[in-house]
Amino acid sequence: MQALKPSSSKLTLIVASVVFLLGLAGVAHGGRRLISSHDDNKPCKKMTVYYHDILYNGSNNTANATSAAVTKPSAALSRSNWSNGTFFGMLVVFDDLVTEEQALTSEPVARAQGFYLYDKKEAYNVWIAFTLVFDSKAYKGTLNLMGADLMAEETRDLSVVGGTGDFFMSRGVATLSTNATEGYFYFRLKMDIKLYECYVA
* 8 A C-beta contact, residue 109 and residue 131: no
Q: What is the total count of domains within the chain?
A: 1
First and final C-alpha spacing in the chain: 52
Tell me whether residue 25 is in a domain: no
* Average pLDDT, rounded, for the chain: 83
Which CATH number covers residue 104?
2.40.480.10
CA 3 to chain centre: 50
Structural domain boundaries enclosing 171: 32-200
- Please state the rounded mean pLDDT for residues 114-129: 91
Q: What integer pLDDT is reported at residue 72 of this predicted model?
A: 85
Question: From CA 187, how far away is CA 49, in angstroms rounded?
Answer: 14
Q: Which pLDDT value is given to residue 77?
A: 76
pLDDT of 167 higher than 80: yes
Residue 49 lies in a domain: yes
pLDDT tens-digit readout, 63-96: 889 999 998 887 777 777 666 778 888 999 999 9
For residues 117 and 107, give the distance between their C-alpha atoms in angstroms, rounded to a whole number.
28
Beta bridge partner(s), residue 35: 198
17: in domain: no
pLDDT of residue 4: 52
More confident residue, 128 or 14: 128
Query: Does 164 reside within a domain?
Result: yes
3-state helix, strand, coil in the chain (%, to 5): 10, 45, 40
d(CA 50, CA 186): 13
In a domain, 21, yes or no: no
In a domain, 91, yes or no: yes
Give the residue, 141 or 41, on which the prediction is more confident. 141
User: Distance between CA atoms of 27 and 132, rounded to whole angstroms?
Assistant: 26
10 inside domain: no
| Higher pLDDT, residue 28 or 165 | 165
pTM of the predicted structure, to 2 decimals? 0.78
What's residue 26's pLDDT? 45
Q: What is the pLDDT of residue 28?
A: 45
Residue 129 falls inside a structural domain: yes
Chain-centroid distance of CA 65 in Å reads: 21
**What is the pLDDT at residue 165?**
95
Which one is predicted more confidently, 12 or 18?
Answer: 12
The helix/strand/coil state of 16 is helix
201: pLDDT strictly greater than 60: yes
Closest CA to 94 of 120, 118, 121, 70: 70
Residues 19-59: tens digit of each pLDDT: 444 444 444 445 666 676 556 678 999 999 999 999 998 88
Q: Which residue has the higher pLDDT, 65 or 151?
A: 65
